[in-house]
Amino acid sequence: MKTPSTNTNELFQARWYWRELIICNLLAVLILASWLWQPTRQLWDAFDLRLFHWLNAPLATHPIWARIWAIGNMRPIDVTVGLIMLVTIIKSNWVFSGTQVRRAFYAFFALLLLLLFIRIVLFDEILKLMHWQRSSPSLVVEGAVRLTSLFPGWEQKWYLKDSSKQCFPGDHASVLFIWTAMLLFFARGKALFFVWLLTILYLLPRLIAGAHWGSDVFVGGAFLSLLAFSWGFYTPYAAKSQDLLERLTAPIIQPLAKLPFLRNISFISGR
């Protein structure tokens, strides 16, 4: 699929990529349809159950393994992973050059806003109307291992999460997929390996703990991220948003770029 070259500061062009936009939207619809159509829904349900048992069962017999994934499901870890995702974008010459990092961050921020709009304003109403919501496997599967039971007190102290009564779609997964999709176009070498590694590692905690079914992630999360990414990346939206955010933040960024320490930060200096 087409993407603007990274040889210039203009990571996104203010134009329509109709072929890519249509392909992504068709793919999103097909993924969701495969979950709604009864014959293929049975396949998804079987996949969900097998994946959950495969990932969750070892928690009962391996205390260290259980502790690792209990830590992985704590809110501070979510914040830490979010910061790592941010750093991969704004660290100069990791994925983007020093002259590109600010515009790359603005594009990512704009994509997240679009995802939020699609999720809350549009998709949330469809979820309620169609009654697609459901409970986590940790709440409905007999014999499920609950991390909150293995580590009592962690839920209140560290915001450990292993269940939800409204687990579809996987919101963490949709944000992660947006980040992954954007960086896959630009990352190379060890940066590309790191993107794939973080994506896989960050998907696992909620699945292992049983907070989400596999289809929450690979149907719901993928559906939302494909819509948001395609309408942000393959339309003028990202480029226009970059320009707008550059203008809005210029009165703040320009004075900061004159300060001794801050002017060495690529996000501030633009170089």
Asked whether 1 and 20 are in contact (CB, 8 A), the reply is yes
Nearest to 27 by CA among 219, 185, 172: 219
Confidence band of 5 (pLDDT split at 50, 70, 90): very low
Residue 18, pLDDT score: 96
Residue 7, pLDDT score: 43
Residue 271, pLDDT score: 82
Locus of tokens 């939207």: 25
In angstroms, how far is the first alpha carbon of the chain from the final one? 29
**Residue 9 confidence (pLDDT) above 60:** no
Residue 199, pLDDT score: 96
Output the CA–CA distances (angstroms, integers) from residue 202 to 30, 77, 154, 186, 207, in the order listed.
Answer: 25, 10, 20, 20, 10
Residue 3, pLDDT score: 52
Asked whether 241 and 107 are in contact (CB, 8 A), the reply is yes
**Residue 2 confidence (pLDDT) above 60:** no
Residue 8, pLDDT score: 44
Tokens read off for 89: 């974008």
Residue 25, pLDDT score: 97
153-177 pLDDT, tens digit per residue, is 999 999 999 999 999 999 999 999 9
Residue 10, pLDDT score: 66
Residue 162, pLDDT score: 95
186-233 pLDDT, tens digit per residue, is 999 999 999 999 999 999 999 999 999 999 999 999 999 999 999 999
- The residue extents of the domains of the chain are 18-269
Query: pTM (2 decimals)?
Result: 0.92
Amino acid identity of 172?
H
15-54 pLDDT, tens digit per residue, is 999 999 999 999 999 999 999 999 999 999 999 999 999 9
By CB neighbour count within 10 A (0-12 exposed, 13-18 middle, 19+ buried), where does 230 fall? Answer: buried
DSSP 3-state percent helix, strand, coil across the chain (nearest 5):
70, 0, 30
Residue 244, pLDDT score: 95
55-107 pLDDT, tens digit per residue, is 999 999 999 999 999 999 999 999 999 999 999 999 999 999 999 999 999 99
- Dihedrals phi, psi of 153, to nearest 5 degrees: 95, -25
Nearest to 107 by CA among 211, 241, 256: 241
Locus of tokens 């205390």: 63
Contacts of 87 (CB under 8 A, 6+ apart): none
Strand partners, 92: 96
Amino acid identity of 259?
L
Residue 269, pLDDT score: 82
121 compared with 269, residue with greater pLDDT: 121
Spatial distance between the Cα atoms of 57 and 138, rounded to a whole number of angstroms: 11
Residue 96, classed as helix, strand or coil, is strand
Spatial distance between the Cα atoms of 153 and 159, rounded to a whole number of angstroms: 9
228-246 pLDDT, tens digit per residue, is 999 999 999 999 999 999 9
Amino acid identity of 236?
P
By CB neighbour count within 10 A (0-12 exposed, 13-18 middle, 19+ buried), where does 127 fall? Answer: middle
Tokens read off for 188: 């190379």
Tokens read off for 229: 């990414």
Locus of tokens 């994946």: 51
